[in-house]
Structure 1
Amino acid sequence: MGAWGFKTFENDDSSDWLYELEESSDLTVIESAISEANEDYIEAPEGCNILAAAEIILALHGKAKESLPDNAEQWVSKNKSLDTSGLRDKAIQAIDKLLSDSSELKELWQETDDFEFWVKDVTSIKSALSEINH
């Protein structure tokens, strides 16, 4: 494993995903990440991407977390007019699946001392998404 912390952008997978997002000017990268939850089992890299996409959706609604990287903030400020309707509910469902037994990311975090911090962070993203009006 590369660099890992329990917050969304504290790992190599999310950083790589963010680079891909920076190269785009629409929601395709975000929609693609969220759709990974449609698989029977979510691998860890895809799980990281789902969380990154969820945080970008929050930021597009003016609810960015303090830990959002500068390059993500810059992308959001350039693209805040994008229509994210429909993505909120899909992101919430994807996070529910990440917190289920169909998630490699959850399994990996369960083996660490930071599992409760990870769950708290993921749950806070879900709660913030739930507060967004469609």
Structure 2
Amino acid sequence: MGTWGVGPFDSDTAADFCAEVDDVAMGEREQAVRTALVRAVDLPDDVELDACEAERAVAAAALVAAQCPGGESADSVYGPEEPLPDLTGLRGLAVQALGRVLTEPSELYELWAESDGGPWVAEVRRLENVLLPQPAGEQLGFLR
């Protein structure tokens, strides 16, 4: 596994996934992101989630989070170079996928647990928090 950091695009697998998203037509990019998320979510709870599929799901969730309020841009060196369609309709699916990545049996979670995985877990949790809808009072605080 070629991983050099805890960010969602800091692995060979995530970088390859972003290149694959760039390579498909604009009208197919949402489906490419959706497919990466669904592969993590649709796996039975008692089947281990492969590390590569988990890395793809984290990268896909980060692409969705980048379009949400509070999300960080996906303009990393290894993120997609081509424009993306509106992915915010995938927020719920992205949250589910990240939950699966952080739930055993998940090979990626187990690999990070063997090392100092705290910063990686914090990064995945940060993505989850961006993807979760904010309570109405927090979204529209200026209207009080």
For normalisation by structure 2, the TM-score amounts to 0.78
Aligned-pair identity in percent equals: 27
Note the residue ranges of structure 2 that are not aligned, 5 or more in a row: 136-144
- The 5 A counterparts of 1:48-87 are 48-61=55-68, 63-65=70-72, 68-70=75-77, 72=79, 74-75=81-82, 78-80=83-85, 82=86, 84-85=88-89, 87=90
Larger gyration radius, structure 1 or structure 2: 2
Query: For the aligned residues, what is the CA RMSD?
Result: 2.3
What is the distance in 2 between the residues matched to 1:132 and 1:70? 30
Would the alpha carbon gap of residues 47 and 65 (structure 1) be closer, same or farther in structure 2, given more than 3 Å must change?
same
- The 5 A counterparts of 1:52-131 are 52-61=59-68, 63-65=70-72, 68-70=75-77, 72=79, 74-75=81-82, 78-80=83-85, 82=86, 84-85=88-89, 87-113=90-116, 115-131=117-133
Note the residue ranges of structure 1 that are not aligned, 5 or more in a row: none
What is the distance in 1 between the residues matched to 2:84 and 2:7? 23
- The 5 A counterparts of 1:27-38 are 27-37=30-40, 38=42
1:22–1:72: 8 Å Cα contact kept in structure 2? Answer: no
Task: Return the letter of the residue paired with 1:79.
Answer: L
Count of residue correspondences: 128
